[in-house]
Structure 1
């Protein structure tokens, strides 16, 4: 397991605060690039950038930020986390990623998802009533693009293709995952399209997702195909001590949670609920030793090939995010590898 596990970081470009005021999107984007550069320097394997179209997240064009990070690094893989495929064009997405993959010497990848936010649908002229069919058809087309030289395809949401070539041609197949929020249907879809599965576990015990990991492996076995990798994306924060991590992270995490909660009808986050999630759920918040032990437990329980820590959360300051990245790369990852070994 120590030879196959990869360690990543994810961010949505959450708008951070300085002196009690939100920073401009432009500064947040520059800070994300600096975070990616630091992640490369401290040995993180992957950084994923989430696509959103709202004022509390700065990244709406992740491939542009990925390119900026790739230009200043030499080792770290850069990807999306996630690309909202339902409201994108699979062909243009393939062209952007294959271009970035060429310029980064094979370091580009992406995680495809339906997205838990829906602002992109009206923005780009899509009907939410087509939520399921848009994703299913576009995922079908995109998987053909990454595997076939000539594309013949038809669906109900774009013109058919017949023997179409799409350029630039990648030097090697693009690596694409599918994001899964936790439904059996989504797990089976990932198997059907023969894609690695990234489980978004943002609440509750990680162990409750074990049946989904087992279903994924069993479905591949029944199809007589080699099982693809499994990853987990979960939020967290690292500081020198457990107490410092909790105190640094809670205000920003609560601000983000409560803002989204007002839109979706959730109750405001209480400190006791936060601490319960830290201690027993899917918040990886604490000292390097605490976070490493929790990650190792999740990797073992689910049989993971990758773990991705969503290190940004609302207005948590840039300096605190940089410290999390430093500790993740220099302390947490080596500790987890030792624990798994």
Structure 2
């Protein structure tokens, strides 16, 4: 069971309650990753965003900095928005991180929960689906690390093009992030790639049909059904009440901002508490969070769980404490619970 952490580089607040700079926020993530590595956390995934409340727009650049200061932790994106990027350059950047980290890089490809990157880099939202389909097809070919011939509609064709650098292992570990679309699940299975489910609301069991679909599709298509991963928001503090009070104010701001874009009503405290008790918010003391992760992972049969441990303008010190508790207490407890069945 792989147990990791996930962040978008949310801009935290300092001891006075003032937001830190984007540069300081990036350095904060690096320090959190170094601590996670020291405590035995298996992986850290950095998401790509192009919004003022987030500091990370190029996950692989930050991962390269983390690689130079860590020894064992896996270094992933979470996600790389492939639709508005170039597959060749994405492969080259992550192969470079893989070299710096001595084989610890992973890329999780997705279409992204926000769409700011499309106009920023000159892409038309009308091409939302075809951009990802086209570029994922090319990226899968690049993973073989052999000369590639390819043609599509979203970038110039390649004719026997060799791409460098190569990885030492000969294969860059690559996942596809899926938010709950059956078409995305089948696409992932068709390419024979591992699937990372973003479960950010509702009881985790409602995603069980997607895991079943992934496995059935892989069998019918003759590809490999890899162990499935999931990531969900959460926060660890010394007590349940402290965790909720530290997490809720900043989370509500972010949740309402997303909701305004998608037509959702403002988040109410009762809804939040219900998600903490029986939904997909893993918030509380180490014992509470470990118990809920073990239950969800066991019920769904996933092979990886990443906790999205940041949500908006949280105190920087509380974030470091959350990483410390996750690595030193939550992970051992989850492993014990899963081994006991």
Give TM-score scaled by structure 2 length: 0.97
Give the SS at the match of 2:202.
coil
1:261 aligns with 2:256: no
Q: CA deviation at 1:116?
A: 1.1
Residues of 2 paired with 1:28 and 1:160: CA distance? 39
Match in the other structure for 1:300: 298
Match in the other structure for 2:8: 12
Pairing of 1:321-336 with structure 2 (within 5 A): 321-336=319-334
Residues of 1 paired with 2:194 and 2:314: CA distance? 31
Match in the other structure for 1:114: 111
Deviations 1:202-232 (A, max 9, x none): 0000000000001111222223443212000
Match in the other structure for 1:28: 25
Match in the other structure for 1:83: 80
Deviations 1:304-331 (A, max 9, x none): 1100000000011111111111111111
Residues of 2 paired with 1:165 and 1:127: CA distance? 29
Deviations 1:20-52 (A, max 9, x none): 322110100000000100110111010000000
Deviations 1:250-290 (A, max 9, x none): 11111211222233332221111100000010000011111
2:60 paired residue among 55, 58, 63? 63
Match in the other structure for 1:183: 181
Match in the other structure for 1:250: 248
Residues of 2 paired with 1:226 and 1:184: CA distance? 18
Match in the other structure for 1:316: 314
Match in the other structure for 2:122: 125
Match in the other structure for 2:338: 340
Match in the other structure for 2:168: 171
Residues of 1 paired with 2:166 and 2:283: CA distance? 42
Gap regions ≥5 residues in structure 1: none
Match in the other structure for 2:213: 215
1:198 paired residue among 196, 199, 214? 196
Residues of 2 paired with 1:159 and 1:52: CA distance? 26
Residues of 1 paired with 2:166 and 2:251: CA distance? 42
1:232 paired residue among 220, 230, 233? 230
Match in the other structure for 1:147: 144
Give the SS at the match of 1:111.
strand
2:268 paired residue among 266, 270, 273? 270
Give TM-score scaled by structure 1 length: 0.97
Change (3 A) 1:147 1:265: same
Deviations 1:151-198 (A, max 9, x none): 011001111111110011111100010000001111100001110000
- Superposition RMSD in Å: 1.0
Residues of 1 paired with 2:234 and 2:108: CA distance? 20
Deviations 1:71-115 (A, max 9, x none): 000010111000000000000111111111011100111100000
Give the SS at the match of 2:45.
strand
Residues of 2 paired with 1:257 and 1:17: CA distance? 18
Q: Which runs of 4+ in 1 moved over 6 A?
A: none
Change (3 A) 1:28 1:137: same
Residues of 1 paired with 2:256 and 2:210: CA distance? 29
Match in the other structure for 2:37: 40
Contact 2:37 2:70 in 1 (8 A): yes
Bigger mean CA offset, 296-305 vs 260-269: 260-269
Contact 2:22 2:55 in 1 (8 A): yes
